[in-house]
Chain A
Amino acid sequence: MGGGGMATEAVNLRIPEEVRAVAGDPNRLRLALIELSAQVKDVITLGRGDPDLATPPHIIAAAEQAMRAQRNAPTPLAGLPELRAAIASKLHRENGLPVAAENIIVTTGGQEAVFLIMQTLLDPGDEILVPDPRYTAYDEAILNAGGKLVLVPTDHADAFNLRPEAIEAAITPRTKALIIISPSNPTSGIVTEDRARAIADIAIRYNLIVISDEIYEKFVYDGWQHFSIGSLPSMDNRTITLNGFSKSYAMTGWRVGYVAAPQDVIEGMTRVKAVTTGPAATVSQWAALAAITGPDDAINEFRAIYAERRHILMDGLRAMGMDYSDPRGAFFLWTNSASTGIHATELSYLLLKEGRVLIFPGTAFGEQWSGYLRISVLQPTAQIREALERTRVVVEKYRR
């Protein structure tokens, strides 16, 4: 395991001060690169996880219908009752979760869901197990709640699947919860059903809460299957399932996520939400209702588009001599860039400045991942091909 063996000190890297100043803070590093990219003309962005595809027309039509019918008043804090019921129905039908509407809270995007979960669960000093590498918004939410982040290593050879023995090794008397992110951001690995079953046994044995982030569930490829750990016997009263509309339906700007959990968790989260953001925007919730009760044609179409793009990316990366982890889900390629001999933070900056391509360094998902890049497939194929060519030129120029 490990991040690829690059030196981790930012001090010797060829990066500007605004990047150097935040190089040790993954969240700020991502934001700094996004802000720098806004100043780069003709940039191709394979960075932020914002689908380039449009929200499907039937969802926009439903939003318009609600607005024009003056269904604009604020909803209850936990969400529009019709939406909560539809989410519960979906989770029961598709994911095998034994949930009802009162087990659901609608949030202002998935990121708020993470914040509310941590505020509701954690007391100062509680430890929470997080797979590494990880989307580091989790770090902030945990630290804000006074919790302690304990990293669980995952590795390339295992396609970044979670290893039950690694989880068990990280458990202490202060461990309160375990996070599973499947499919994973940033690795695009998944937690397979056999591993999920073994992890559930551990959670029951050590009386742990499992937070299952399934926001990329609709994007699984090559015959792999998504599996919800909350569907397993005896897991229903210890699993908190997080999902949302941003990724599945290309609805990032609408800001709608949701959580399914035991009722006391939902009640606690609702009380925190009342003094955090209030209810999610009403128009967005009507749009989400149309999404979750409507046809899945658009999702299937999105999946086929992403599958084609990732094959183009995989071919291009192999041609450059770069390896990547088996991308079983999501829409990223977690790419091992160690063969370039360039620290990922520096390579990311060079790709942006000279190649006009925004790709996040592995260090934006954990400081040790200096030998990796996270490349998204969220651009049309022509742009992806162009980005690959620009990347090739920069890598050839600076390869050590």
Chain B
Amino acid sequence: MNGHLARPLAARLNGLSALPLLPDNAAPVPAHVIDAAKAALDRGETHYTDRAGVPVLRALVAARIEKQCGVQIDPKAITITCGLAEARSVAVRVLTKPGTAILCPQGFAEVAGVAHLIGAEMITQLDQPVSLAYLTPADPPEIMQAAIASGAAIVWDLTHSGPAAHPALDPAIAPRVTTIDSLDAQFPGWRIGWLAGSEMADRLRGFKQSLTICTTSVSQWAAVEWLQKQ
């Protein structure tokens, strides 16, 4: 097959250069997780799951967030994603719009990439109005507080740990906070992440469904086993 298409590709690909890297030094997957994955396959867990993810996994994620951050999130407002990349991609696509700015002090490659694809701009300093504040607990407190006070939608990404408290602990702010985390650090090849909470949970779930229908079933059951033993 020839190397090039008969017509040019979309202009949006120009400048799409940031490629996130997955960890390549993850520890071996524990035998009990593999046993659980195999058991799931043996009982026929090879079909589409609920588009938001298997209910037991969503409940475990809710419990993990509560234990970690003290924030209660209804499991029904949780969507399991194909790794951190899909969680970040869906969040940026749903929570912002073209022509706006996204504050992301950590400058995550997925955030920059999706912003580029949809015609938004990622900034790392709060020097203009933003539609979305993509924050982590490790971000500078003054930027974080100003961004939250601006009324923008908030993503709270737990993959970067830090001292800051979860903004959804404030009930007045909680409806606009989407929590993101993943098991990419532990099992990067299994592709498990999640989007949790916010008044946008239904729309986040809907976009994820339109993108990949559901997350890999066997990976979800492996994640269930791992989270249950934490």
Contacts and interface: CB of A to CB of B under 8 A. Distances in A.
Binding partners A and B: yes
A123 interface: yes
A221 to B, nearest CB: 24
A261 B5 contact: yes
Contact of A281 (B20, B189, B211): B189
Interface string A244-274: 0000001111110000111111001001101
A27 B214 contact: no
B93 to A, nearest CB: 8
A397 to B, nearest CB: 32
A293 interface: no
Contacts of A50: 47-48
A254 B117 CA distance: 27
Interface residues of B, number: 66
A61 to B, nearest CB: 9
Contacts of B2: 236-237, 262
B24 A274 contact: no
A111 B211 contact: yes
Instruction: Pick from B37, B44, B82, B214 the residue with the most CB of A within 10 Å.
Output: B82
Given A111-B213, A237-B1, A119 B46 contact: no
Interface stretch (B64-72, B130-138, B150-158, B215-223): B215-223
B180 to A, nearest CB: 14
Nearest to B2: A237
A277 B89 contact: yes
Interface string A173-210: 00010000000000000000000000000000001110
Contact of A255 (B4, B18, B187, B212): B212
B146 interface: no
Contacts of A237: 1-2, 4-6
B41 interface: yes
A79 interface: no
B85 interface: yes
A276 interface: yes
Contacts of A227: none
Instruction: Pick from B22, B51, B191 the residue with the most CB of A within 10 Å.
Output: B191
Nearest to B115: A275
A75 interface: yes
A120 interface: yes
B109 interface: yes
Interface string B103-119: 00000011011100100
A253 B48 contact: yes
Nearest to B16: A271
B167 interface: no
Contact of A122 (B10, B45, B85, B89): B10
The number of chain A residues touching the other chain, given as a range, is: 35 or more
Interface in B1-34: 1-7, 9-13, 16-20, 22, 24, 26, 28-29, 34
A148 to B, nearest CB: 14
A109 interface: yes
A85 B61 CA distance: 37
B100 interface: no
A145 B10 contact: yes
A73 B185 CA distance: 11
B9 A263 contact: no
B211 A115 contact: yes
Contact of B1 (A63, A72, A103, A268): A103
Contacts of B44: 54
Contacts of B34: 64, 67-68
Interface in B52-103: 81-86, 88-89, 93
Given A263-B1, A274-B85, A275-B20, A209 B7 contact: yes
Contacts of B113: 271, 274-275
Interface string B187-218: 11111000000000000001001111111111
Interface in A270-319: 271-272, 274-284
B159 interface: no
A112 interface: yes
B219 A283 contact: yes
A255 B24 CA distance: 22
Interface in A1-46: 27-28, 31
Nearest to B6: A238
A278 B218 contact: no
B28 A70 contact: yes
Given A254-B218, A281-B219, A274 B1 contact: no
Contact of B13 (A207, A262, A268): A268
B49 interface: yes
Interface stretch (A92-100, A150-158, A322-330, A349-357): A92-100
B86 to A, nearest CB: 4
Contact of A209 (B5, B19, B22, B206): B5
B20 A278 contact: yes
A121 interface: yes
B195 to A, nearest CB: 13
Nearest to A52: B47
Contacts of B84: 278
16 contacts: A60-B41, A72-B26, A99-B1, A108-B86, A207-B6, A253-B45, A254-B46, A264-B4, A268-B13, A275-B18, A275-B20, A275-B117, A278-B22, A278-B191, A280-B216, A284-B216
Interface of B: 1-7, 9-13, 16-20, 22, 24, 26, 28-29, 34, 37-38, 41-42, 44-49, 51, 81-86, 88-89, 93, 109-110, 112-114, 117, 187-191, 206, 209-219
Interface of A: 27-28, 31, 48, 50-51, 54-55, 60, 63-64, 67-68, 70, 72-75, 77, 97-100, 103, 108-109, 111-112, 115, 119-123, 137, 140-141, 144-145, 176, 207-209, 236-238, 250-255, 260-265, 268, 271-272, 274-284
